[in-house]
Each structure stands twice: as structure tokens, then as C-alpha cells.
Amino acid sequence: AKRHARGQHVFFEPGQQQDLLEQQFLQHQLAQAVQENLLEVYYQPILDAQTGVIRKAEALLRWKHPNRGFISPAVFIPLAEESGLIHPMGRWVCETVMQQLKTWDAQGLPEVAVSINLSARQFVQPGTIQNLLEQLERHNLDASRIIVEITESVFMQDHGVVEEQLSLLEEAGVKIALDDFGTGYSSLSYLTRFNPHYIKIDRSFVQQLDSQNTSTIMEAIISMGHHLNKEVVAEGVETPGQQEWLQSRNCQYLQGYLFSRPIPAEAFADLLKDPPDG
Ligand code: C2E
Ligand code: CA
Ligand code: CA
Ligand code: CA
């Protein structure tokens, strides 16, 4: 079967009837889960690489299935995209994140910005960006508190629509992160075509830093980011060795299991209150 990049249609070949039924079943259950409020937003800290202070969090959806346990967003996001459920889900994620930011603010916690993932489909869907901006206004939150993470698959959508959404965000002051950087086919040309504030280096690079070729490429990406005035975030940092390497190259932000997995909002608040030493 041809599995396209994440965030796009998944096509099944006839031999995969079993799979297809399974997918349809899950799709049905997902719709129910949305209604029954069985989705949750988890937060993964993003640290300032030099100080170790938590500056941001990435919002990551979780589906707690009653008898299958956690189902990975890598599985259910594509299903939600096929059924269109992704759109109400996305609005719910934005609303939940903004309410959470207000709650943390009210608790006097240090201010963080939260990045929200938008798939290509979501990004070009009429209303997605307007809705996000309305929600910011309604919650009286500064635009700097939300970052929108997109992948280059967005640029395979209608260019006019993409430009429109980008300029809406830019006018409002919402920054964009180019996610999974380096894994696509033409990331470099997109850096010149629009202006992401952050580049998130995909974890596949971070995890191969011990290869000479990969570390050379990483050095080039970080230095290019600096020259283009972009802030570089490294994802998937799992070892102190990777952390040191990234710190010494002045990569600005670090995210990964070494610091914390994605965790529920309350646990994240505890981390903000009481950061671990280091
Ligand atoms: P992503 O945007 O690339 O998110 C980063 C993924 O890397 C997350 O997987 C995170 O748990 C994982 N990760 C972080 N640090 C480490 C590490 O040190 N080691 C390893 N091995 N993994 C690490 P997760 O939460 O399973 O999410 C998978 C994908 O699902 C995300 O990839 C994103 O594309 C999508 N997704 C999640 N939540 C949402 C959402 O609210 N909306 C949309 N459109 N997509 C979402
Ligand atoms: Ca992301
Ligand atoms: Ca990513
Ligand atoms: Ca990824």
C-alpha cells in the first residue's frame, strides 16, 4: 500500500480489506470518543538550551481508548482527517490549550507559549485560522502565547490559500514553526518562500548524531537557521550526549524524553512550579 506523508490521505489496496474494516471501526469509535470527551491534550516541555528553563510546550493529542489503552495520534489523526473530524477536534485542541494557558496564568506560573500542530488539511480549511485568532481574542491572550506547527506538506496545498492563512497569522503576530524539518523533499525552498520563526529539526537527525554525515548536516541546519534569523528547536533529545552537542552548537531550544515525555496539564504545571535541577 502507498502510505503518503503524515497528515495526508492514506490509501489502501484491495488486499487490505481487513485493515480497512479495522480503520472504519476505529473511525467510528473516534467519533464517539470526541463526543464522550475521551481525548486529552498532553504537554511536552521545550527548554531554553542554555538555561534549561521551560519556555514552551508542544500540545499533543491523546486518545484513551476504553479497552485498547492509548492509541497513537499517528494512527488516529489520519483517520480523523479522512472523516473530517479533524476540524472540530482541532478547534477543541485550541480551546483546551487556551483555557489551560489562562488557568496557568491565574495560578501565577511562569508564562509559556504552547505550540499547536495543524495538519495540511486543517491549515487550508476555511475558518481554521480565523477561529484560532478569535479564540485568542476571546481569551484575551497575547498572540505570542500560541505557535502554529506546520510541516512542508502544507505547501502541496493551494498556494493562494496557503499564502492567505500565513498572512492572517503574520498580521496577528502568531509565529510559525516548520516541523519535521529535513525530512521532506524541498524544505530549503520553503524557507525562502515564507517566513517561519522556528525550525524544528526532526528527531531522526538528532538520533543519528553519532554518524559523521548526520552531525555535519545538523551543523549546517543550525548555522543556516542562525544566519536566516530563525530559532532552531531540536526534537527527540534523549541523551545527555545529544544535549551537550546541541548546546555547544547554540541550538536554541531542546525537546525530548531526556527532559520529559508529553504529560497531562497538571503534571506540566508541577514541572513549571518546581523544575528539576540541571
Ligand atoms: P510531531 O508533531 O512530530 O510530534 C512529536 C512527536 O515526537 C510526539 O509524538 C512526541 O511524543 C514524540 N517525541 C517527543 N520527544 C521524543 C523523544 O525524545 N523520543 C521519541 N522517540 N519521541 C519523542 P506523538 O505525541 O505520538 O505525536 C505523533 C504525531 O501526531 C505528531 O508528530 C503530530 O504530527 C500528530 N499530532 C499530535 N497531536 C496533534 C494535534 O493536536 N493535531 C494534529 N494535527 N496532529 C497532532
Ligand atoms: Ca509537532
Ligand atoms: Ca515534529
Ligand atoms: Ca515527527
At 222-239, the pLDDT tens digits run: 999 999 999 999 999 999
Q: How many CA atoms lie within 13 A of 201 on its CB side?
A: 31
CA 153 to chain centre: 14
| Å from CA of 60 to ligand 1 middle | 6
Q: What percent of the chain has pLDDT over 70?
A: 92
pLDDT, mean of residues 47-59: 97
Rg over alpha carbons for the chain, rounded to the nearest Å, is 19
Distance (Å, rounded) from C-alpha 129 to C-alpha 148?
10
- Angle of helix 86-106 relative to helix 128-138, nearest 10 degrees, comes to 20
Q: Please work out, in degrees rounded to the nearest 5, the angle formed at the alpha carbon of residue 229 by the alpha carbons of 183 and 257.
A: 50
Query: Does the pLDDT of residue 42 top 90, yes or no?
Result: yes
DSSP 4-34: PPTTS-B---GGGHHHHHHHHHHHHHHHHHH
Residue-wise pLDDT tens digits, 195-210: 899 999 999 999 999 9
Q: Work out the number of other CB atoms within 10 angstroms of the CB of residue 185.
A: 9
The pairing of strands 198-201 and 231-234 is parallel
The interface predicted TM-score (ipTM) is: 0.97
Q: How far is the CA of 14 from the centre of ligand 2 (A)?
A: 32
Reported as a pLDDT band with limits 50, 70 and 90, residue 1 is very low
| pLDDT score, position 24 | 87
Tell me: the pLDDT tens digits for 92-125? 999 999 999 999 999 999 999 999 999 999 999 9
- Return the C-alpha cell found at 23: 480503520
List, for residues 54-79, the tens digit of each pLDDT value. Answer: 999 999 999 998 888 999 999 999 99
pLDDT for residue 270 is more than 60 = yes
Ligand nearest to the CA of 256: 1
Instruction: Give the pLDDT band of residue 182 (cuts 50, 70, 90).
Output: confident
Which ligand does the CA of 201 lie closest to? 3
3-state secondary structure 227-241: HCCCEEEECCCCCHH
- Name the β-bridge partners of 254: 47, 234
Q: What is the pLDDT of residue 171?
A: 96
Which residue's CA is the nearest one to ligand 1's atom 10?
262
Specify the 3-state DSSP secondary structure of 174: coil
Looking at the predicted structure, is the pLDDT value of residue 7 above 50? no
**What global pTM score does this model have?**
0.92
Residues with C-beta less than 6 Å from any ligand 1 atom: 6, 44, 60-61, 72-74, 77, 93, 117-119, 122, 179-180, 203, 235-238, 255-257, 262
Ligand 1 pocket test, pick from 77, 180, 206 with the greatest ligand atom count within 8 Å of Cβ, gives 77
